Amino acid sequence: MAAAIDLAKLGLRFQNEPFFVKPNPASKSTILTRAAHNLLSSQSFGRQNRAPRRLCTMCSMIDQQEKEQVVEEASDSGFTKEESSLIDAFIGVLGRGRSASSKQLQDVERAVQVLEGLVGVPEPTSSSLIEGRWQLMFTTRPGTASAIQRTFVGVDSFTVFQEVYLRTNDPRVSNIVKFSDAVGELKVEATATLKDGKRILFQFDRAAFSFKFLPFKVPYPVPFRLLGDEAKGWLDTTYLSQSGNIRISRGNKGTTFVLQKETDSRQKLLSVISTGLNVKEAIEEFITLNQKVAETELELLEGEWKMIWSSQVETDSWIENAANGLMGNQIVRPNGSLKFLVDMFLGFKFSMTGTFVKSGTNTYDVTMDDGAIVIGTYGLPMEMETKITLEIIYTDDKIRISRGYNRILFVHVRIDGSEQK
């Protein structure tokens, strides 16, 4: 029982963690156990509320300016300009924030602060918009989490949700880890009490696995009654969008959460890629939804781009894969130069540089002819040359879909567009 209590305590610090990292090669039982430990600590993620548009026949100039600042016309996707800026900031950030660079974290925090400075729903806990299932997209962490939590919360192939149901005879907030459609999920529930228009008080009281291959739920044996205050917490909703699609919350341990009900097409595509299933179909759907962009003249945008998926498993030697851009990052410079950069092992890197020239509306001729094995400031030159026709199918500031070497389909995300290397 002592061990179970310790595990539950670990879980109750789970709030302080981000939620996205590539899964480590581990047994399913180990991963599920990690999920249980960490889910318990996932403190309720807040709510967001929409500020009603003021309709008045006589408004002062200040009131009018405030109205225009607070209530902007939503885009076709249902997100305002400020909300879209937040979404742009964490697209391409792996580990739900865990693998973010300092600049990426700053961009997200700045976008969060902008939204928190606007007038959302005045009393989010009193709004029906807070009800329902929310997907966790990003979280910050104060750094007090255990090694187990740091491992689990970054598993991109798992989806993390929070359900909020306050207008029932049994108000509850539940944290959910969905392992996959084939495996099932773990759900940890808490009783919920409203303190005021922004804060929810909660206390965890039960947890269970729901496996697809079993006709019954499997209780997770955590002695909640013995945990006392460790099973309690609170959650403030600092922003709830007018559409009810975005919520920003802050927990009692200092963690900030960004959650969504509706995700944009890029987020949906990245979510499918994280599972590795039906990716080609998801790309086709994405291109269809973004046909207007795909039909325009597309440029090879500068910045550092990380390959997150390709349509073909590498079949050549390791060094040939790296030289053909089938691995690692691509660094595009505005002067027509291109670099492939791959981390090898123990500080060794493979670098391949070359040039690109536009040859058609959405195509480029790429010549890579300067290879080297690099460690620190030293490099071992390698005689190599490869020529590729690169076709841009879709691109924006955060994501790029292209065909490259041997007509292989690639998806890249921009990981540090402002810093050229």
Take residue 383 and report the two structure tokens written for it: 């005689």
Q: Lowest mean pLDDT: which of 93-97, 226-230, 405-409?
A: 93-97
> Which pLDDT score is estimated for 12?
35
Residue 317 has pLDDT above 90, yes or no: no
Structural domain contains residue 75: no
What's the pLDDT score for residue 196?
94
Total number of domains in the chain: 2
If you average pLDDT over residues 200-214, what whole number do you get? Answer: 92
- Give yes or no: residues 399 and 283 share one domain: yes
pLDDT the model gives residue 314: 64
Domain boundary among 244, 263, 282: 263
Domain that holds residue 405: 266-291+298-414
pLDDT of residue 153: 57
Q: Which two tokens stand for residue 45?
A: 């993620």
Radius of gyration of the chain (CA): 24
Q: Which residue from 115, 134, 108 is spatially nearest to 47, judged by alpha carbons?
A: 134
* pLDDT(175) > 80: yes
Q: Is the pLDDT higher at 309 or at 150? A: 309
408 and 311 share a domain? yes
Q: How many CB atoms lie within 10 A of CB 369?
A: 14
Q: Both 191 and 214 in a single domain?
A: yes
The residue out of 216, 248, 263 marking a domain boundary is 263
**Tokens encoding 382:** 């390698």
Listed in sequence order, the residues at least 6 apart from 386 whose beta carbon sits closer than 8 Å to its beta carbon are 323, 324, 352, 367, 368, 369, 405
Answer whether residue 12 is part of any domain.
no
| Domain presence at residue 421 | no
Question: Same domain, yes or no, for 305 and 355?
Answer: yes
Residues 245 and 326 in one domain: no
Residues 254 and 280 in one domain: no
Q: In whole angstroms, how far apart are CA 277 and each of 81, 283, 295, 401, 407?
A: 32, 11, 27, 17, 20
**229 and 343 inside one domain:** no
For residue 234, which amino acid is it? Answer: W
Is 30 domain-assigned?
Answer: no
> What is the average per-residue pLDDT within 333-347?
90
238 and 287 fall within a common domain: no
pLDDT digits (tens, 9 = 90+) for 12-62: 333 333 333 333 444 444 444 444 444 444 444 333 443 333 333 333 333
Q: Which residue in 1, 254, 18 sits closest to 158, CA to CA?
A: 18
How big, in percent rounded to 5, are the helix, strand and coil portions of the chain? 30, 35, 35
- Do 223 and 275 share a domain, yes or no? no
pLDDT at 419: 43
User: In the predicted model, what is the mean pLDDT of residues 389-408?
Assistant: 94
What pLDDT is stored for residue 140 in this prediction? 79
Q: How many residues does the chain have?
A: 421
Residue 296 in this model has a pLDDT that exceeds 60: yes
Q: What is the mean pLDDT of residues 260-264?
A: 86
The torsion angles phi and psi of 90, rounded to 5 degrees, stand at -105, 5
278 lies in the same domain as 368: yes
Residue 303: CATH number of its domain: 2.40.128
- Nearest of 80, 140, 137 to residue 110 by alpha carbon: 140
Considering the domain architecture, whether residues 186 and 102 belong to the same structural domain is answered as: yes
For the cut 50, the answer to whether the pLDDT of residue 9 exceeds it is no
- Residues 270 and 253 reside in one and the same domain: no
Give the HSE-up count for residue 396: Cα atoms under 13 Å, Cβ half-sphere: 13
C-alpha 227/C-alpha 223 separation (Å) is 7
Establish if 255 belongs to a structural domain.
Answer: yes
